[in-house]
């Protein structure tokens, strides 16, 4: 599976480069935005400036994360933003690479397969989007991998709490931990997340209101979740109809994935099965959140090693490849050739939906009883 994904992504980039030579229009792998390079990190950087000036970090208009996340903006406050954003880029690359390598080691990957996984990450559209925007999902992924890989419960709790404190998506894994009866990590992670917010207690109490305003945004063209896909297919049902359909799809996926966690022993490498459900939560989720699926690819590749592929594996593979389609580059190339290509924007959302379906179809409780995937 790793070889197939790596070959497909490298082939895609070669086709885009060759197409750009013919059309004389250079490929744009991420969208050109008014905020410029590392615009999302700019929100953290500005929030840190506001905090230093004793102003509310939520009055910037762009900072919508838990108060603890302002520390990310404080890392390079001694530098001008035009320099600080490049240092954050270096850290972001390190977070993603370290998380991928650490999870590959947890699955006992060979260096060849680890290298293949890194090559997939290096040609994956969500990775480009994450690095260009300078967001925090790479750090969130790193904290999650460390939380489920560390041996001591306190270290695990701190890393899990940090991940929740940076971005609340990680908190969705409490249903996984409850299903696995890992009450130590569940309680420890929540406690650590709460403690980390204490220095900003006033802001933490006002954060639910900030989050409530954020949840009113459902559909964006570049959204990686199936939300735009559902809106396109079910928009005629009205706003309420497609929202209900999407929420049901989201919840059914959760129940089905949790069903397959029964009897998997003490192994905690399968938390990544919840990644598609996490990035598809009914909120605005940009493409960078899909970096969480990189460990999922490794998990699935390990699971089907030396086994013939069946329909669920092909569906999962198709979904992952569509998730990695460089939509901006393809749209610009098609436009240069006189071909309308707005439909390309739906491919990433379709990929997420297929990924979720593929994960559900691979669930077989009888097969899982008393087995583990990796040590």
pLDDT band at 218 (very low <50, low <70, confident <90, very high): low
Cβ atoms 126, 225 nearer than 8 A: no
Q: How far apart are CA 235 and CA 239, in angstroms?
A: 7
Where do the domains of the chain lie? 2-25+39-368
Buried b or exposed e, range 255-288, using 16+ CB within 10 angstroms:
ebbbebbeebeeebbbbbbbbbbbbbbbbbbbbb
42-57 pLDDT per residue, tens: 889 998 888 888 888 8
Task: Read off the pLDDT of each residue in 299-319 and give the average, rounded to a whole number.
Answer: 85
Cβ atoms 327, 348 nearer than 8 A: yes
Top-confidence residue, 137 or 240: 137
Task: Read off the pLDDT of each residue in 230-259 and give the average, rounded to a whole number.
Answer: 84
pLDDT band at 366 (very low <50, low <70, confident <90, very high): very low
Assess whether pLDDT exceeds 60 at residue 181.
yes
Assess whether pLDDT exceeds 50 at residue 265.
yes
272-287 pLDDT per residue, tens: 888 888 888 866 778 8
Cβ atoms 159, 146 nearer than 8 A: yes
pTM of the model as a whole: 0.89
Q: How far apart are CA 128 and CA 135, in angstroms?
A: 11
Top-confidence residue, 211 or 353: 353
As a whole-number percent, the residues of the chain with pLDDT over 70 amount to 91
pLDDT of residue 371: 43
pLDDT band at 375 (very low <50, low <70, confident <90, very high): very low
Record the tokens describing residue 263, joined without a space.
Answer: 């009897």
Angle, in degrees to the nearest 10, between helices 2-23 and 327-336: 30
Q: How far apart are CA 89 and CA 254, in angstroms?
A: 33
Record the tokens describing residue 25, joined without a space.
Answer: 């229009």
Cβ-based neighbour number of residue 326 at 10 Å: 26
Q: How far apart are CA 191 and CA 73, in angstroms?
A: 24
Record the tokens describing residue 193, joined without a space.
Answer: 């997340």
pLDDT of residue 190: 93
Assess whether pLDDT exceeds 50 at residue 373.
no
- Spell out the alpha helix ranges (H) of 227-307: 227-234, 239-259, 275-279, 293-303
Q: How far apart are CA 253 and CA 224, in angstroms?
A: 16
78-124 pLDDT per residue, tens: 889 889 999 999 999 999 999 999 999 999 999 999 999 999 999 99
Buried b or exposed e, range 57-83, using 16+ CB within 10 angstroms:
bbebeebbbbbbbbbbbebbeeeebee
pLDDT band at 374 (very low <50, low <70, confident <90, very high): very low
What integer best gives the mean pLDDT of the chain?
85
pLDDT band at 161 (very low <50, low <70, confident <90, very high): very high
CA distances from 98 to 101, 138, 156, 292 (A): 5, 10, 17, 13
Q: How far apart are CA 17 and CA 129, in angstroms?
A: 18
Alpha carbons within 13 A on the beta-carbon side of 257: 25
pLDDT band at 297 (very low <50, low <70, confident <90, very high): very high
Measured in whole angstroms, how far is the alpha carbon of residue 205 from the centre of its chain? Answer: 26
pLDDT of residue 259: 81
């Amino acid at each position: 599976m790793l070889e197939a994904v790596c070959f497909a992504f490298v082939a895609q980039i070669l086709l885009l480069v060759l197409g750009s030579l013919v059309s004389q229009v250079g490929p744009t792998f991420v969208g050109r935005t008014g905020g410029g390079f590392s615009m999302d990190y700019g929100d953290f950087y500005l929030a840190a400036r506001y905090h230093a000036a004793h102003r509310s970090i939520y009055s910037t208009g762009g900072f919508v994360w838990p108060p603890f996340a302002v520390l990310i903006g404080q890392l390079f406050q001694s530098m001008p933003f035009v320099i600080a954003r490049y240092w954050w880029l270096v850290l972001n690359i390190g977070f993603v690479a370290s998380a991928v390598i650490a999870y590959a080691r947890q699955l006992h990957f060979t260096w060849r397969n680890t290298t293949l996984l890194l090559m997939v990450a290096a040609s994956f559209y969500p990775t480009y989007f994450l690095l260009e925007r300078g967001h925090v999902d790479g750090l969130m992924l790193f904290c999650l991998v460390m939380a489920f890989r560390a041996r001591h419960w306190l270290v695990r709790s701190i890393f899990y709490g940090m991940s929740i404190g940076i971005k609340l998506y990680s908190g969705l894994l409490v249903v996984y931990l409850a299903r696995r009866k890992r009450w130590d990590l569940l309680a420890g992670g929540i406690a650590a997340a709460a403690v980390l917010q204490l220095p900003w207690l006033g802001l933490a109490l006002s954060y639910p209101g900030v989050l409530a305003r954020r949840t009113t945004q459902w559909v964006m063209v570049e959204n990686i979740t199936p939300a735009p896909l559902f809106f396109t297919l079910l928009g005629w049902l009205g706003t309420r109809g497609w929202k209900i359909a999407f929420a049901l799809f989201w919840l059914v996926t959760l129940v089905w994935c949790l069903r397959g966690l029964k009897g998997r022993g003490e192994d905690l490498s399968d938390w990544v099965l919840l990644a598609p459900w996490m990035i598809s939560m009914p909120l605005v989720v940009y493409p960078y959140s899909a970096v969480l699926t990189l460990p999922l690819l490794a998990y699935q590749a390990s699971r089907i090693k030396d086994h013939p592929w069946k329909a669920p594996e092909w569906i999962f593979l198709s979904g992952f490849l569509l998730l990695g389609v460089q939509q901006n580059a393809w749209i610009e190339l098609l436009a240069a050739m006189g071909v309308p290509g707005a439909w390309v924007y739906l491919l990433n959302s379709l990929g997420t939906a297929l990924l979720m379906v593929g994960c559900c179809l691979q669930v077989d409780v009888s097969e899982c009883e008393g087995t583990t995937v990796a040590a």
